[in-house]
């Protein structure tokens, strides 16, 4: 994932959580306010931006519970497309 894409994920997460402070990439987003509605919004935005589709078996909040996990699942999906 390039720097621009990583920056997009970081900004999107902060926007969905409505926070304006810096967060670590391994910070627990659930503790920062990530709930099911915000997760769905995050997923939709990620699918649109990266032109990917998350499968039903991937749609667990735990897969999106940190920026690092979000980046990892996106990278896995993009690699499969290549």
Per-residue pLDDT of 10-65, as tens digits, reads: 999 999 999 999 999 999 999 999 999 999 999 999 999 999 999 999 998 889 99
Domain ranges, residue 55: 3-81
pLDDT at 81: 79
Residue 66 near residue 26 (C-beta atoms within 8 A): yes
What CATH number did the domain enclosing 12 receive?
A: 1.10.1200.10
Nearest to 39 by CA among 6, 5, 76, 12: 12
Residue with the two structure tokens 């078996």 = 57
pLDDT at 82: 75
The number of distinct structural domains making up the chain is 1
Residue 46 near residue 12 (C-beta atoms within 8 A): yes
Q: pTM here?
A: 0.91
pLDDT at 46: 97
Q: How far is CA 14 from the centre of its chain?
A: 10
Residue with the bigger pLDDT between 82 and 55: it is 55
């Amino acid at each position: 994932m390039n720097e621009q894409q990583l920056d997009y994920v970081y900004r999107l997460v902060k926007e969905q959580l409505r926070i304006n402070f810096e967060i670590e990439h391994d910070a627990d987003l659930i503790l920062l306010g990530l709930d099911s509605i915000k997760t769905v919004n995050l997923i939709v935005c990620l699918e649109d931006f990266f032109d990917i589709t998350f499968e039903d078996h991937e749609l667990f909040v735990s897969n999106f519970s940190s920026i690092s996990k979000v980046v990892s699942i996106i990278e896995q999906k993009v690699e499969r497309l290549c």
